[in-house]
Structures are given as C-alpha cells and as structure tokens.
Amino acid sequence: MRVEVRAVPTGELVSLTRWLRSQRPLQGRVDPVGRPPGREELGGAVELLSIAVGSGGAGMVLARALTTWLTNRHADVSITLTTPERTVTVEAKRVGDALPLLQEVLDQADRASAGDAG
C-alpha cells in the first residue's frame, strides 16, 4: 500500500524527505512526487511524498518518524497523511497525540489493503 504525505509549508518536504530516507526500514520506500512546471518555471516542484508501507512494521516506523520530525520543527508546520481509507492532518503545535492517530490511520489502511488482496 502507498500513502501520501504533504507538508505545509511545502519547503519542509526536503527536510522531511531526508529524515524519512534516513530511517532504515523506510529506505527505498520514499518517493517525491512533483507537479508539472508552470509556464515561467524551469522545473516542477515536489508536491508530496509517496511512501510504500505494508506488513513488516513500516507503518509504525513511518508514524514514529513523522512524529519525531514534527516534534523537532522550530516553525509552524503541518503534515497531511492520506491513505486509501482516510486523510488526517497533524500540526507541529499539537504533536503530542500524533503517534496514536497516525498509527491508527496506517493500521486501518493496512487492514483494508490486506482484505483487498485476499
């Protein structure tokens, strides 16, 4: 299953990409997704991250990594996690409840995709 992660401001995606790729269980699973360039742009900007998760604990690793990254932000940042089942937004100001919420969203999506496969 793939989940999408967006960050606001979008400039934070570079930092988030580096952080997620540094997590050993997520290496090779994090792909930046760009948008087409505008008329006066030289190239398209990264709009979101697409992350492959599934069995083996990658969902829990992703939830913990996102929570840790948000906790260490010095500016107002929010992330939006989208699975095939649900979308949730977490702000850095209210990160205390992020881990259980993110894990719940990823678990629901994992159960749903397992049901589709079987």
Kindly report, residue by residue over 24-37, the tens digit of the pLDDT: 999 999 999 987 77
Token pair recorded at residue 81: 């996690």
What is the per-residue pLDDT for 116?
A: 61
Distance CA 43, CA 83 (A): 27
What is the per-residue pLDDT for 84?
A: 87
What is the per-residue pLDDT for 90?
A: 84
Question: Using CA atoms in the order 42, 16, 91, 105, what is the torsion angle rounded to 10 degrees?
Answer: 110
Distance CA 67, CA 17 (A): 14
Quickly count: other Cβ atoms within 10 Å of residue 101's Cβ.
17
* Overall pTM surpassing 0.85 (yes/no): no
What is the per-residue pLDDT for 41?
A: 67
Distance CA 97, CA 27 (A): 26
What is the per-residue pLDDT for 92?
A: 72
> Taking 90 as the threshold, does the pLDDT of residue 118 lie above it?
no
Of the candidates 115, 117, 106, the residue with the CA atom closest to the CA atom of residue 26: 106
Distance CA 69, CA 83 (A): 19
